[in-house]
Amino acid sequence: MKRQHVVVLPSLGLGHLIPLLEFSKRLVLHHDLQISFLIITTTTDNSSSSAANGQLLQPSNLPPDLHLVQLPPVDVDKVTNSEMQILTRVCTITEEGLRSLKSVLMDIGIPKALIVDLFCTQAFEVCRELSIPAYSLITTSVSFFAFSLYFVELDRTVEGDLADLPEPIQVPGCGPVRIEDLLDQARIRNSDEYKWFLFHTSRWRLADGLFLNSWEDFEPVTLQAIRENPFFKSVTPSIYPIGPVIKQEEPDESAAEYMSWLDKQPPDSVVFVALGSGGTLSGEQIIELAWGLELSRQRFIWVVRKPTEASSSGTFFNVGSDTNSPEEYLPAGFLEKTQGVGVVVPSWAPQVPVLHHPSTGGFITHCGWNSTLETIVHGVPMIAWPLYAEQKMNATVLAEDIGVAIKPKVKTGQTVVGREQIARVVRMVIEGDEGNTIRRRVRELKETATKALDAGGSSHESVCRVVEEWKALS
C-alpha cells in the first residue's frame, strides 16, 4: 500500500532545520509516511551549504522515504541589505522563497498535510487555496510559545514599547517575563524585527494544529495554562506536544580527536563550551572566558569562534564555513597553560556526541531550544549563557523554574561576565553540591523524556493521533 504523503517546510538556520528534519525522520520511520522536505535555497547558498548544514542533508543520512526538494533559489542581494537584522533577513528571504510554493506542491502532488516552521506562515494561504491541512512546528519552549501568543494581545493593549514597561509581563496562567529578558524583536514597536515577529505570531492561530517541541512532564504548568486559561483557549488551535525532537547521534570523523581525549577523562569531569550554530562573543568576553576556564582548574572542551563586536549571532548564516585560527585571538599563553586539561575546537563541532559522553559533566550553553533539549536528553547540567533571540527567557526558565541550570552573574553596569564568576560557576557545576542537585534533576527529566517518546508515551501518542487523522482524510 502506498504511503501517505506529507510535506515539511523549515525556514533558514540550523535551529529551525534540525527539529523539522528530525521530526520528518520520525514520521517516516515510526508512522509509515512519505515526506517531501522542502529547502529554501539562495544564490549565495549559505543557507544550505555550510559544513554543518550540508552534512545534515546528505541523502545517505536520510531514510528512503524522506525526499529533499529544493525551492528555486532566492537572489539574496535583491531582497536583503547589510542593514537588516537577523529575523528581518530570515523572514524576507523566506517570504521570497515561498513564492514558488504553490507550483512546487502541485508538481510533487498535493499532500495530506503541510507542516511549516513558525516563520513560514505565508504558506497558510497556499494551503487554504489547495485545501491542504496546515500545521506548524513551534521550535521554541512552551513558555516562549505562550508569551508569543500573548504578545499579540500586548501589542493591542500596551501603549509605547514593551521595553519601557516598569513591571514584569504577566502571561496568563504562566510565570512573569522580566523586561530585561525580553527578546530584542519584542522590545521596540517601530523596528522591522518587531513587525515580523508580530506578523508570524498573530498568524499561528490560522493553523489546523501546532506541534510543540516539549513534553507533558517538562513544562506542565505552561501546557496547562494553554489548554485551560480562557485567553489561550480563545486564540490557540489544537496543540500536540511531541518532544523532545532532537538531532540523533551520527558518526563524525572530525570529532575523533577530542572524543578520544574525552574517553580518557573521569565521569562527569569535563565542561563543554558551545554557544550554538550562530553564537559569537566579543574579544573582551573571549579573553575573560578563556582565563575563567583556566582559573576553574576543570577539564573543558571549548568550541571557539573568532570574536566580533558587531553581533552575538554573527555566524547564523555561515556556521562552519569561516576560517578560524584560535591562537590569533585567544590570550597569550592560554593554550600552553591549559594543554592536557582542555581542548579547543575551532568554529563548529558535532554537539550530540560530546553531550552523550559519560565524561561530560556540564555544558556552557546559549540556551537555544535545540541545545537545551539535547542537554536534557543526555542528562547534563547547564550553565546558562544566553546571547540572542529568546535565549534570555529560556535561561531564566531553566534556572529558576525547571532547576537544570546556573546563571552566571554580571556586575551591575557591565555586560561582560568576569573570569572569577566563570570559574565559580564551572566549579559549582562540576564539583559542587549545587551541581549535584541540578544533575539529579536533569536526569529525572531525562527519564521522563524517554518515557514520553516510547510507544504509549504522551509525545508518541500525540503524533499518532494526528497521523491517524491524516490517513483518514479522503
Catalytic residue (one of 5, 16, 366, 378): 16
C-alpha to C-alpha distances, 334 to 129, 174, 396, nearest whole angstrom: 60, 44, 31
Percent of the chain with pLDDT over 90: 84
Q: Does residue 37 share a domain with residue 149?
A: yes
Specify the residue for cell string 575546537: 345
pLDDT, the chain, mean: 93
Q: Does residue 439 share a domain with residue 305?
A: yes
Give the C-alpha separation, 297 to 281, whole Å: 22
Q: Is pLDDT of 221 > 90?
A: yes
Query: Which three three-digit cell numbers place residue 167?
Result: 513591571
Q: Does residue 260 share a domain with residue 178?
A: no
Tell me the pLDDT tens digit for each residue of 321-345.
456 789 999 999 999 999 999 999 9
Give the C-alpha separation, 320 to 370, whole Å: 17
Tell me the pLDDT tens digit for each residue of 185-205.
999 999 999 999 999 999 999
Tell me the pLDDT band of 48, cut-offs 50, 70 and 90.
very low
Give the C-alpha separation, 439 to 406, whole Å: 11
Beta-sheet strands, E only, within 259-355: 270-274, 299-304, 342-346
Q: Any catalytic annotation for residue 164?
A: no
Give the C-alpha separation, 45 to 426, whole Å: 38
Nearest CA-CA partner of 93 in 74, 72, 118? 74
Average pLDDT score over residue span 410-423: 91
Q: Does residue 323 share a domain with residue 428?
A: yes
Q: 244: cis peptide before it, omega within 30°? A: yes
Q: Does residue 217 share a domain with residue 309?
A: no
Q: Does residue 141 share a domain with residue 189?
A: yes
Q: How many domains does the chain have?
A: 2
Tell me the pLDDT band of 411, cut-offs 50, 70 and 90.
confident
What's the pLDDT score for residue 288? 97
Nearest CA-CA partner of 247 in 137, 135, 348, 377? 377
H-type helices in 236-359, by residue range? Answer: 256-263, 283-296, 334-337, 351-356
pTM: 0.94
Give the C-alpha separation, 55 to 67, whole Å: 15
- What sign does the dihedral 263-302-425-290 (CA atoms) show? positive
Query: Which three three-digit cell numbers place residue 430?
Result: 562540576
Give the C-alpha separation, 222 to 226, whole Å: 6
Range of the domain at 397: 254-449
Tell me the pLDDT band of 131, cut-offs 50, 70 and 90.
very high
What's the pLDDT score for residue 278? 74
Report yes or no: 380 and 361 within 8 Å, Cβ to Cβ. yes
Q: What DSSP letter does each residue of 20-61 carry, written as one string?
A: HHHHHHHHHHHH-EEEEEEE--BSS-HHHHSHHHHHHT-GGG
Average pLDDT score over residue span 89-101: 96
C-alpha to C-alpha distances, 34 to 2, 63, 190, nearest whole angstrom: 9, 10, 43
Q: Does residue 285 share a domain with residue 412?
A: yes
Nearest CA-CA partner of 132 in 90, 101, 86, 93? 101
Q: Does residue 342 share a domain with residue 424?
A: yes
SS3 387: coil
Q: What is the CATH number of the domain that holds 362?
A: 3.40.50.2000
Percent of the chain with pLDDT over 70: 94
Q: Does residue 43 share a domain with residue 26?
A: yes
Q: What DSSP letter does each residue of 143-188 carry, written as one string?
A: HHHHHHHHHHHHHHH--S-GGG-SS-EE-TTS-EE-GGGS-GGGT-
Q: Does residue 157 share a domain with residue 226?
A: yes
Average pLDDT score over residue span 416-420: 96
Q: Does residue 158 share a domain with residue 27?
A: yes
Tell me the pLDDT band of 252, cut-offs 50, 70 and 90.
confident
Specify the residue for cell string 582559573: 295
253 Cβ partners below 8 Å, 6+ apart?
none
What's the pLDDT score for residue 54? 64
Tell me the pLDDT band of 177, cut-offs 50, 70 and 90.
very high
Specify the residue for cell string 561576565: 417
Catalytic residue (one of 5, 31, 67, 117): 117
Report yes or no: 186 and 87 within 8 Å, Cβ to Cβ. no
Specify the residue for cell string 573570569: 419
Tell me the pLDDT band of 225, cut-offs 50, 70 and 90.
very high
Give the C-alpha separation, 52 to 18, whole Å: 10
Q: Does residue 321 share a domain with residue 200?
A: no
Q: Any catalytic annotation for residue 181?
A: no
Tell me the pLDDT tens digit for each residue of 285-316.
999 999 999 999 999 999 999 998 875 544 44
